[in-house]
Amino acid sequence: MSGSKMIKNKIRTLIVDDSVTIRKVIRHLLESDPRFEVVGEAAQPSEALKEIRLRNIDLITMDLHLPQKTGAALIKEYMAIRPIPTVVISSLRPEESHLVLESLENGAVDYIQKPDQKTILANRVEILDRLFQAAQAKLVLNLKHSKQEALLSQSSNALLVIGASTGGTEAIKTLLTQLGTQIPPTLIVQHIPPFFSEAFAQRLNKLFPFEVKEAKNGDKVQENRVLIAPGGFQMRLVKKGSDFFVAIEDSPPVNRHKPSVDFLFDSVRREYTGPKVAVLLTGMGADGAEGMLKLRSVGTYTIAQDEQTSVVFGMPREAIKRNAAVKVCGLHEMGAAIQQGFVSLLSPKKGQAS
């Protein structure tokens, strides 16, 4: 392979951070991996916009604390004219979680806590893999979707469970928008750092007529309530008498994730015998694929997001490869697919797809 071809295939990266020290740390990290080429640096939004106009860029790493404007506002500005896969790399306090969520809403693919030398040594491979996957991400346009008048089915004992990772915060919001005003009990695992899950749930709770909250240990699983697993903990379903609750515990990571989709899905398979629909959305890796396969084996209606509308077609692809998905569909079709799943489970004349 020629040198020019090797350079052509590298991921051309722009580093945006107002700290010279951090720019050097990120540059050193990227240049240690032959997949990346740092083509520019910017300390201010105006410099970043100039680099974006002048250069062919495949990936941007973005700090959120910038002079002139926030990184979140800058992402929104250039995404409107030239969408480029972007990973937020920033140090934030819990009360600043909204900036990460705003960045993801504006088009960022992923968030990584700003690394120091110690963090890089311990997590170098994972950080580089996340940056590499982000560079391959599809920036999905908002598509029209059908909204269900009421997803709450004829049976009050139905359950909806959802797993997501990279690109999932916006995918979850889009999916919930399709569900109408009445929904079955819903449990969600989104790979998310500690502190951000509460802000994510609060942000969603303002948008919908049903309740959306970060799950607390012992929360009851009930109609018109969405429980989101807290970052840094595992969430599982437990049965007490005729009712169901969630247990939030400091168990080890599963598939390197905490919370883990497989951890939740496995508990649902063990504990819940009623009609249930499981959905696996965009995300890198394979978390949730095995759990979904096991859920399908006990009669669950399982749905995987398609490649076209996935930001990162990792977790859904692994589920499809394992034949774990009864149905594969686009994000904008999820509401109708979930409704179809509950109808098929509750109809005495229809069984689950084989």
Is 165 catalytic? The answer is: yes
Contacts of 147 by beta carbon, 8 Å cutoff, 6+ apart: 177, 178, 179, 180, 335
Is residue 198 a contact partner of residue 269, using CB atoms and an 8 Å limit?
no
Buried b (16+ CB within 10 A) or exposed e, 180-199: beebbbbbbbbbbeebbbbb
| 191 counts as catalytic | yes
| Assigned token pair, 153 | 């089915």
Q: At what angle do helices 289-297 and 261-271 cross, to 10 degrees?
A: 10
Omega prior to 83 cis, within 30 of 0: no
Instruction: Report DSSP state, residue 253.
Output: P
Strands of the sheet with 59-62, listed across from one edge: 36-42, 11-16, 59-62, 86-90, 110-113
Considering only CA atoms, which of 117, 182, 172 is closest in space to residue 149?
182
Separation CA 279–CA 322 (nearest Å): 15
User: Vertex 261, ends 159 and 61: CA angle to 5°?
Assistant: 130
Q: Please pick, among 90, 103, 153, 165, the residue that the annotation labels catalytic.
A: 165
Angle at 153 between CA 304 and CA 230, to 5 degrees: 55
Q: Which of 266, 287, 306, 344 is catalytic?
A: 287
Render 178-197 in DSSP notation, one character per residue. TSBS----EEEEE---TTHH
What's the rounded Cα separation, in Å, for the pair 112 and 61? Answer: 10
Q: Is 91 one of the annotated active-site residues of the chain?
A: no
Q: Catalytic residues, which ones?
A: 165, 191, 287
